[in-house]
Structure 1
Amino acid sequence: MTNTNLYLPFEVDFKELEQFPKTIRKNNFFELIYVVDGTGIQVINDNTFQYRKGNLFLVTPQDVHSFEITTPTKFFFLRFNEYYIKANSQNGQSETVLRMEYILQNASHRPGCILKNKIDKPLIASLIESIIQEQVNQQIYHQKIIEQIVNTIITIVARNIALKLPKNIKETTGEMVLEILHYIQENIYNPKQLKAEKVSEYFNISLNYLGKYFKKQTGETLQEYIANYKLRLIEARLLNSDMRINEIADELNFSDESHLNKVFRKHKGMNPSEFRKKFCK
């Protein structure tokens, strides 16, 4: 297995390949891979998916991946890490960072195109074509323009992951539930703002309607979704950072480390330290 590193805040690359490098790769960064043209099979964590033009894949640092090319394929690669997102925001708790956290926590580590929102498919194609043209033409400010487009692509990816994860969300899901999910992401570190009364007040809907509407749209109650989202955040801290358990407990507003341990063990069948030891390779 080849471990690859990223030495710049982000990289974009465009290649036409008849054969993908035979080495199975594991990256230390996030990679968005867009199929401009061609067909074949995506292999990720020993699972496979038949890819075609217009597919967009997200590969996380935990994933082992490769491609088996059937017809010559034009790949567009966008590589970045969490530090790129943090460097492009003035506040570590900013909206952009929280969107990135959603990517970190909710990527499925399974094969398949992450574009679930139909209207985003032509938008992504257009944005990637714009990056390719900026790289070819090399006009003034091209690098800054590419950076802005990269930020837009990452935001669109976050939206599609928000569409993907709760069990019953579909491409036709109403705008309000997506706004509620975004509100939860923005306020996950501020539990007072996540009380059902506060959410219903913010969206100007009744408490009773909020509960029924959210459960119907997502398959989970509001509090179940918040609890599961917090668990995904904890998992990401354990897998992608050197934070101590008490630091994670403090950041996510658990009363103390033992409270976090109890909640985590209830859902995962092991305490956070055991989880980190088992899955952090």
Structure 2
Amino acid sequence: MRSLRQFSAVNVQRVIFNEGAEQDVVNDFYEFLYICSGAGKLRKDGQEVSFKNGDIFFINRRKEYYISADTEVELITIRFTEAGKRVLRSLTDQNSNVIVSVSKIKSSKNLKVRLQNEDLALAEKIVFLMLDMNQHPEKNENLFYFQLLSLIAIIERNLSFGEIKNEKNSGPQLIDKILKHIHKNLKDPKMLSLSYMAETFRMPLHQLPIYFKQEMGISIKGYIGRERLTATAYLLTHTADTISQICRSFGYADESHFYKRFKKEYGLSPSDYRLKAC
């Protein structure tokens, strides 16, 4: 079994596992594993998952894990000690705008994190930047922490929603509650703001849009916009309200913007749509 100690608070290294290699590992530091290339399996806490390029694992301090390489595997390991963890905690405590932590990443439900495309590209840049910075670790140690916080923030917003779905105000019914709220408040933009809905449904602000898209296959902003247009189209064909009245009733501050959105959705201007329905 491989076991290492680390003396610098933060350290970044490139590691190669040859095809067919197998290794049990336990280290005296916290560790992120970023898979650069190759495929294999990682086992931790009695769970075994396959991995490929772009996957990220978090390994807790003194936690044993087993890794096997189906092909040659190249990974980058970002390691930080207990002292490094205290620095991260201090930075988050000092800045009220920084709300990330490794607590959710430690969850057994998040054994592996698979990043979305845009976040994958961003995380890769951060990881390789940290690898370059490691050429002068003493000079760059303070910068490491800020890059590490950025990486943790990206990982957090890509986590599974296992924790959320176990809460009282959740489960299969949570998306139904969100949809009901949206349809009930289509005429009130403030009630449909992400901050208001996140607070209403007791969800972290950054997780609400990700959860909604996972459940509905469309962004929450796109869904709200589409449903508002559907409601305005109904009023155009079932009431005598003017287009300006309909715009105002749904909180559209710019009537020309409404015209553009409506025509893009239906291929007709609101007035032509109304005439065609007559």
Equivalent residue number for residue 158 of structure 1: 156
Partner SS state of residue 124, structure 1:
helix
Residue 33 of structure 1: how far off its partner (Å): 0.1
Following the alignment from structure 1 to structure 2, what is the Cα–Cα distance between the partners of residues 206 and 158?
19
Matched, 1:44 2:44: yes
Distance in 2, matches of 1:96 and 1:115, equals 25
* Contact 1:31/1:79, CA 8 A, preserved across alignment: yes
Instruction: Check the 8 A contact 2:109/2:160 in 1, yes or no.
Output: no
State how far apart, in whole Å, the 1-side matches of 2:64 and 2:115 are. 23
Q: Match for residue 113 of structure 2?
A: 114
Contact (CA 8 Å) 1:63, 1:109: kept in 2 or not? no
Runs of 5+ unmatched residues, structure 1:
178-199, 219-281
Is 1:33–2:23 an aligned residue pair?
no
In 1, Cα distance between equivalents of 2:103 and 2:70: 30
Task: Classify 1:20/1:27 alpha carbon distance in 2 versus 1 (closer, same or farther; 3 Å).
Answer: farther
Q: How many residues align?
A: 184
Counterpart code for 1:130: L
Distance 2:202 2:84 in 1: 39
Structure 2 unaligned blocks of 5 or more: 179-190, 212-278
What percent identity do the matched residue pairs reach? Answer: 14
In the TM superposition, what whole-angstrom CA distance separates every residue of 1:180-199 from its partner, at most 9, and x where no partner exists?
A: xxxxxxxxxxxxxxxxxxxx
Instruction: With the length of structure 1 as denominator, give the TM-score of the two structures.
Output: 0.50
Per-residue CA distance 1:111-159 (angstroms, 9 max, x = gap)? 75314544311111111122233446x5995555444322321332333
Contact 1:36 1:53 survives alignment (8 Å): yes
Change (3 A) 1:204 1:134: closer
1:57 and 2:82 matched: no
Q: Match for 1:128: what amino acid?
A: V
Asked if 2 retains the 8 angstrom alpha-carbon contact of 1:85 and 1:96, the reply is no
In the alignment, is residue 73 of structure 1 matched against residue 63 of structure 2? no
Shift of residue 80, structure 1, vs aligned partner: 1.5
SS of residue matched to 2:7: coil
CA shift, 1:34, in A, is: 0.5
- Bigger radius of gyration: 2
TM-score by length of 2: 0.51
Give the secondary structure class of the aligned counterpart of 1:5: coil
- Partner SS, residue 87 of structure 1: helix
Question: Which residue is 1:15 aligned to?
Answer: 15
Q: 1:97 to 1:29 in 2, by over 3 A?
A: farther
One-letter amino acid matched to 1:129: F
Q: Within 2, Cα distance between the matches of 1:139 and 1:77?
A: 15
> Contact between 1:106 and 1:165, CA under 8 Å: does it hold in 2?
no
Q: Which runs of 4+ in 1 moved over 6 A?
A: none
User: SS state of the match for residue 77, structure 1?
Assistant: strand
Aligned with 2:37: secondary structure? strand
Question: 1:147 & 1:90 partners in 2: Cα distance?
Answer: 8
Is the Cα–Cα contact under 8 Å of residues 45 and 110 in structure 1 kept in the other structure? no
Q: Indicate conservation of the 8 Å contact 1:86/1:92, yes or no.
A: no
Structure 1 segment 1-281 matched on structure 2, within 5 A: 3-18=3-18, 22-61=22-61, 63-88=63-88, 89=90, 95=96, 99-100=100-101, 103-104=102-103, 107-109=106-108, 112-135=111-134, 142-161=140-159, 165-167=163-165, 205=196, 210-211=200-201
Structure 1 position 30, deviation (Å):
1.8
Inter-partner Cα distance in structure 2 for 1:57 and 1:204:
30
Following superposition, the deviation at residue 79 of structure 1 comes to 1.0
